[in-house]
Amino acid sequence: MIIKNPKFEISAVSPKQYPNNNLPEIVLVGKSNVGKSSFINTMINRKKLARTSSEPGKTRQINFYNIDNLFYFVDLPGYGYSKMSKKEQEQVGKFIEEYLFKRDKIHLVIFLIDIRHNPTENDKLMYDYIIRSGLPCIIIANKADKIAVTKVNEIVKDLQKKLNPIGDIPIFAFSSERKIYQDDVWDFIENSLKII
């Protein structure tokens, strides 16, 4: 997919701030510093539309990126960041939950995990949470450039067994450094959006 005019639209912490149109929303969830912003930038072939940081926990709001007036990428705050105060964690958790369970524009959840590590307890909790929500989902095994290309497929299969043993949720390798993986993800997203 060739993206011509993506733009950051709004940061929101409550439903009254969400965009008020009928565009489908593709939501990114994952732990802090798993690479959600870099994923967006790579997919739309921009370097800095989504703000990235080496400091975990930087995203504290729900960021809406309008992709050519076709759909939104919605970047949720990362979970599991220990330096956030308990009160901040509760606030962030509350508006993530409110968004995931009450927003009727969600078309797909993209759940990012780090390909180098076994899913954490927080990852498993978030995965269960997404499953319970009933929302369509794919899993992105991110940071695939950090391991040998020859091992990627094997590790992806292993992660699928650990998180989704029945295999009904697609899992894709991804890397913001190696652009070789994004076509598969775009194919899935485009096919998914055609259903609307």
User: At residue 164, what is the residue type?
Assistant: N
Beta strands in 50-195 (DSSP E): 62-67, 71-75, 106-114, 137-142, 171-173
Q: Quick count: other Cβ atoms within 10 Å of Cβ 104?
A: 6
The pair of structure tokens assigned to 44 is 């739309």
Beta strands in 60-105 (DSSP E): 62-67, 71-75
pLDDT of residue 20: 92
Summarised one tens digit per residue, pLDDT across range 174-196 is 999 888 899 999 999 999 998 44
Summarised one tens digit per residue, pLDDT across range 48-60 is 888 765 554 455 7
The pair of structure tokens assigned to 103 is 């927003």
User: At residue 106, what is the residue type?
Assistant: I
Residue 1 DSSP SS3: coil
Summarised one tens digit per residue, pLDDT across range 78-101 is 887 656 677 777 777 787 888 988
Q: Which strand (E) or helix (H) includes residue 28?
A: strand 25-30
pLDDT of residue 36: 93
Summarised one tens digit per residue, pLDDT across range 14-73 is 899 999 999 999 999 999 889 999 999 999 999 888 876 555 445 578 999 999 999 999
**Residue 62: HSE in the Cβ half-sphere, 13 Å Cα cutoff:** 27
Summarised one tens digit per residue, pLDDT across range 113-172 is 999 999 999 899 889 989 988 999 999 999 999 999 999 999 999 999 999 999 999 999
